[in-house]
């Protein structure tokens, strides 16, 4: 069941990230051409780009967490070849990361609720601020879920996604 949910999340997020990335690139080109060739900026372009870039960055972080391809500083792996020590360090690091991401979920919820209570909107298109800020909460929840998945895999004696890929090489 969880694998089906994970696959569904991947099938939704991956194309969304691609479309947003292409859209941001296109809008950037439009903005540059409008300013340099036409001498007139596109009014409100920055609002749309900010919204898109927030979702692009947050969903990209979710994909990186899902695949285990995010940046890590695993000094223990460099210092020892002992698998028990490496696994213990990974369990500790993942547990600490879960607590940090839970704090991030709390902060993101508070951030979003503050935004909703203020009713702030962008100046040109009147897009509510919470539309882009919701990406922070969505990412925090999904990042926490993937950290919990990684901890369960570690505790069951397996290797998380990134480590499994490295073991294949």
pTM for this structure?
0.84
- pLDDT level of residue 33 (50, 70, 90 thresholds): very high
Please enumerate in sequence order all residues whose Cβ is within 8 A of that of 55, keeping only pairs 6 or more positions apart, or say none: 16, 20, 132, 135
Query: Residue 11, Cα to own-chain centre: how many angstroms?
Result: 15
pLDDT (tens digit, 9 = 90+) per residue, 121-168?
999 999 999 999 999 999 999 999 999 999 999 998 887 765 544 444
Mean pLDDT in residue range 22-41 = 92
Contacts of 169 (CB under 8 A, 6+ apart): none
> pLDDT tier at 86 (50, 70, 90 boundaries)?
confident
pLDDT of 165 reads 45
- Residue-wise pLDDT tens digits, 38-83: 888 888 898 999 999 999 999 999 999 988 877 666 777 778 888 8
Q: Which of 88, 106, 105 is nearest to 144 (CA)?
A: 105
């Amino acid at each position: 069941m969880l694998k089906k949910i994970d696959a569904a999340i991947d099938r939704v997020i991956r194309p969304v990230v691609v479309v947003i990335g292409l859209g941001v690139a296109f809008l950037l080109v439009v903005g540059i051409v409008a300013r340099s060739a036409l001498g007139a900026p596109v009014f409100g372009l920055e609002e749309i780009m900010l919204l898109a870039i927030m979702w692009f960055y947050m969903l990209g972080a979710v994909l990186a967490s899902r695949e285990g391809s995010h940046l890590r500083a695993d000094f223990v792996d460099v210092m020892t070849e002992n698998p028990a020590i490496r696994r213990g360090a990974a369990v500790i690091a993942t547990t600490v990361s879960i607590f940090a991401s839970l704090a991030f979920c709390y902060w993101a919820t508070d951030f979003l609720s503050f935004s909703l209570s203020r009713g702030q909107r962008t100046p040109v298109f009147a897009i509510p601020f919470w539309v882009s800020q919701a990406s922070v909460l969505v990412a925090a929840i999904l990042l926490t879920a993937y950290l919990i998945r990684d901890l369960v895999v570690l505790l069951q004696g397996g290797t998380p996604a990134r480590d499994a890929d490295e073991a294949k090489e």
